[in-house]
Structure 1
Amino acid sequence: MNIEQIRHPFTDIFPGDLSNNPMQRNTPKVLFATTKPAGFDAPELIAFNETLSEEIGLGPYKNQDLDFLVGNHLPGNVKTYATAYAGHQFGNWAGQLGDGRAILAGEIINKNGRKTEIQWKGAGATPYSRHADGRAVLRSSVREYLMSEAMYHLGVPTTRALSLALTGEDVVRDMMYNGNPQLEKGAVVIRTAESFLRFGHFELLSAQREYNTLEDLADFTIENYYPEITTDGIQKYKDFFEKICTRTADLMVEWFRVGFVHGVMNTDNMSVLGLTIDYGPYSMMDEYDLNFTPNTTDLPGRRYAFGKQGQISQWNLWQLANALHPLIKDDKFLEDTLNHYGTYFWEAHDQMLCRKFGFDELLESDEEFFTNWQGLMQELQLDYTLFFNQLEKLNTESDFQSLFADIVYIPLDNRKLKKLEDFAGKYEARLTTNTISREESLALMKHSNPKFTLRNYLLYECIEEISTGKTEMLEKLTRALENPYEELYPEFSVKRPSTYDDTTGCSTLSCSS
């Protein structure tokens, strides 16, 4: 890899703590602290994303690159640092936070001018680790490496993963926070993004009343990541906030399209570029449930449940609006923009559902159709991904028992079959209002509905296998996630086996990593 071209525009512009002191502490009035990766004596590469490496300008992997991938023996041009931010966690102001397990190497620009930030996750403590060790364990690292790439290939805006490596050391974690700590294998992921800037970076500066630096950060973000904004003065920051709102709404719609549940939508886990960021206790949807949350820490309130993600994203944008208020200074504009967010989100959401069902346009009557469909999905516990796959096969001769029996999580009796049949009749009637052919309708569905999603039980099996030193399933899942709209492996396109219904680390997860 060519790592000699890494640069550090963020640290060159903003004030930081340059003491190289890794001790965990508050760092008021600064946006970053230089800190070094811990270093590991016996690392082992598990996976390297050759395609991504070529795309971002690092080139092919060489054996000596492993040292860089785990943060050992860095070249002199790399100045490593962690950033400070704040945030609201589970609805409560948490004060200063920051990159507790993430250390930035800097930014690389490829031959086409594309900028990409490179960041280690799990490479050691930073001043923002809050009395933690800054390490990551194998299970969480595998989950981030695979799911970020799965989301990318699904067409969902996301951070991406360059490499996955074992550190050679064991890390103590209490997976379910129940007083049962265990030794687990440590690992490091290198993740990439156009930028890792979060809502929380702006919240921190605003809370500290560092308004000049807040303005500098907004200008930096606009210049580097929103070049389409060409206005000046207050209008520039208004346009900036509107575009963040639009990108965030579009991201939430994509999450709903593929059935992704983030699990911990704190404001510090929200990207100002509208990317999916921080893959912790997430899950792809198995049985459809608007109240589903994969995060045990989110119980019993289910603040971050699947069906609440649009609402929570709006709440998070309110907090960003408060942070940007010193620059925008227009309460009515912010209120109107956030009120419009709900309108925009639901229209985009329903347009997305139209494409999933193969409808060429949104009709006024579709709101009732979608509501009835949601009720059916919840009552019958139908598998979200597989339902749409089977819907593509539906015709007037369909045997509902054979078509849907293998995608429900409860037995199908005659009453439930009748409900499915009634829905199918309404669906067929709705299709007749299309102005496109059935072939064109099916093309819409096939483009919108993946055949493969990276379910938690598959990740669980993959992590168990890697723990024994094998990587066959990892390689197979990688091929599947790179082609999610094809059924490369029919054995992966099935509902979650009942044996995993109550398996810790599969059906339920915590924030522990």
Structure 2
Amino acid sequence: MNIDQITQPFIDMFPGDFSGNPMQRNTPKVLFSTVNPVGFDNPKLVAFNQKFSEEIGLGKFQESDINFLAATNLFEKIKTYATAYAGHQFGNWAGQLGDGRAILAGEITNESGKKNEIQWKGAGATPYSRHADGRAVLRSSVREYLMSEAMHHLGIPTTRALSLAFTGESVVRDIMYSGDPQEEKGAVIIRTAESFLRFGHFELMSAQKEINTLIDLTDFTIENYFKDIKPEGEQKYQAFFTEVCKRTADLMVEWFRVGFVHGVMNTDNMSILGLTIDYGPYSMMDEYDLNFTPNTTDLPGRRYAFGKQGQISQWNLWQLANALFPLIKDEKFLEETLNNYGNYFWEAHDTMLCRKFGFDELKKDDEEFFTNWQALMQELQLDYTLFFNQLEKLDENSDIKHLFSSVSYGFLDESKTQKLEHFISSYESRLRENKISKKESLDLMKKTNPKFILRNYLLYECIEEINNGKTEMLEKLTKALENPYEEIFPELSIKRPSGYDDVSGCSMLSCSS
């Protein structure tokens, strides 16, 4: 790989701590600290994203690249570092945080001029590890490697995964915080993004009243990642905040489209570019439930439940607005922008649902239709993804109960079947209002509704196989997630088997890594 082309513009631009000390500590008035990865004696490559490597400018894999992929025996040119940020976690101000398990190598530029940051996750402690070891276990690494790629191929803004490797060491984790820690295989992944900048980077500088650095950081972000912004002065920062709000709302709508639940939407886990970042206790939704959260740490309040993600993103943007206030200095503008966020989000959300149902446009009465649909989905415990797949098969000869019983996690008795039939009747009536043909409506649905989603039970099975030295499931899932709008493996496009209902890692997860 062309790792000698990695550059480091971020640490060349901002104040940092060059001590290289990985011990946990406060690092006031800096945005990063240099730190050396721990290094591993016996790393072993599990997966490498060859096509993506060539796309971003790193080129083809060679056997000698395993050291770089596992953050081991790095050449001197690379100054590895971790960034500092702050954040609100579960609604509470947490103060200084930072990259606790992530270490940045720098930035690579491909032939077309597109830049990507290169980052290891699980390569050792940093000053921001908060007394943890900075390592990662296989299960969390596989989950991030596969899910970030799945989201990309679904067409959703996200970080990407380059490689997955065993570190050759064991890591001790208490997977459900039950007081029973166990040894697990250690792993390290390389993930990339145009930038890993988060709301929390801006919150940190603002909270520390480092306004000059906050200005420099915001200018750097606009110049590099928001190049369409042309105004200057306070208007430039207003345009920046407006665009961040739009990107965030668009991302939330995309999460709703495919049934993705992040699980831990703290402000330090929110990308300033509107990317999906930090794949921890996430889940693709099986049975439709607005109150579903995959994160045991989110119980019992369910702050980050599926149906609350739009609301929480707005709350997080309020915190970003507070951080940027010293630059924008217009309270009325910020309030109006954030108050308008809900209108923009819900219109985009309902327009997205129109596409899922095959409607050509959003009509006045569709809000009531969607509300009735949500209630039906929850009452009948219907699988979110499979419901729309079955809806695409609907015709005048369909046996409604037979068509949908296979995608229900409950039993469709006579009463529930009648409710379903009544809804389908109203759906068919609504379809007749379309100004597009039936084929065009169906094509719209097929482009919007995935056939394959990366369910937690599939990830669980894959992780178990890799633990046992097998990669067949990994290869199969990789092929399926690269083609999510096709049914390449019908056996993977089924509802969660009942045997996995109460298995840790299949329905609920903790933040443990």
- 2:127 is equivalent to residue 127 of structure 1: yes
Amino acid at match of 1:366: D
Aligned to 1:323: 323
**Which residue in the other structure is 1:39 paired with?**
39
- List structure 1 runs of 4+ shifted beyond 2 angstroms: none
The residue aligned with 1:142 is: 142
Mapping for residues 491-502 of structure 1, pairs under 5 Å: 491-502=491-502
Aligned-residue offset at 1:178: 1.1
CA deviation string 1:417-454 (max 9, x = no partner): 11111011000000000000000000100000000000
User: 2:345 is matched with which residue?
Assistant: 345
Give the Cα separation in 2 of the matches to 1:23 and 1:297.
Answer: 26
Match in the other structure for 1:152 = 152
SS for the counterpart of 2:277 is coil
Measure the CA separation in 1 of the matches of 2:388 and 2:503. Answer: 27
Aligned to 1:401: 401
Tell me, in whole angstroms, the C-alpha distance in 1 between the residues paired with 2:86 and 2:224.
22
Q: Give the structure 2 partner of residue 247 of structure 1.
A: 247
Deviation, 1:401, is 2.2
Residue equivalent to 2:236: 236
- 2:167 paired residue number: 167
Q: C-alpha offsets along residues 25-46 of structure 1, whole Å, 9 cap, x if unaligned? A: 1000000000011000111100
Say yes or no: does 1:103 pair with 2:93: no
Match of 2:73 in 1: 73
Q: How does 1:112-511 map to 2 (within 5 A)?
A: 112-511=112-511
Structure 1 residue 283, shift from structure 2 partner: 0.1
RMSD after superposition: 0.4
The SS at the match of 1:186 is strand
415-424 vs 447-456, which deviates more? Answer: 415-424
State the Cα deviation string for residues 376-411 of structure 1 (Å, max 9, x = none): 000000000000000001112101122011100001
Give the whole-Å Cα distance in 1 for the aligned partners of 2:401 and 2:255: 30
Distance 2:468 2:34 in 1: 36
Task: Kindly tell me the number of residue pairs found equivalent between the two proteins.
Answer: 513
Segment drifting more, 415-424 vs 451-460:
415-424
In the TM superposition, residue 76 of structure 1 has moved relative to its aligned partner by 2.2
Aligned to 1:13: 13
Question: What CA deviation, in whole Å up to 9, does each residue of 1:137-186 have, x standing for no partner?
Answer: 00000000000000000000000000000000000000011111000000
CA distance in 2, matches of 1:77, 1:235: 39
Unaligned 5+ runs, structure 1 = none
Tell me by how many angstroms 1:282 deviates.
Answer: 0.1
Q: Secondary structure at the match of 1:61?
A: coil
Equivalent position of 1:2 in the other structure: 2
For residue 276 of structure 2, what is the amino acid of its counterpart?
T
Distance 1:89 1:277 in 2: 15
SS at match of 1:153: helix
Give the aligned residue type for 1:305. Answer: A
Using structure 1 for the length normalisation, give the TM-score. 1.00
Q: Tell me the amino acid that sits aligned with residue 250 of structure 1.
A: D
Counterpart residue identity of residue 370, structure 2: F
The separation in 2 between residues aligned to 1:64 and 1:402, in whole angstroms, is 56
Distance across 1 between alignment mates of 2:369 and 2:51 = 42
In the alignment, what sits opposite 1:57? 57
Instruction: Return the alpha-carbon distance in structure 2 between the equivalents of residues 296 and 400 of structure 1.
Output: 36
The answer for unaligned runs of 5 or more in structure 2 is none
In structure 2, the residue corresponding to 1:427 is in which secondary structure? Answer: helix
Structure 2: which amino acid aligns with 1:185? K
1:405 counterpart letter in structure 2: S
Measured in 1, the distance between the counterparts of 2:128 and 2:251 equals 28
Amino acid at match of 2:401: Q
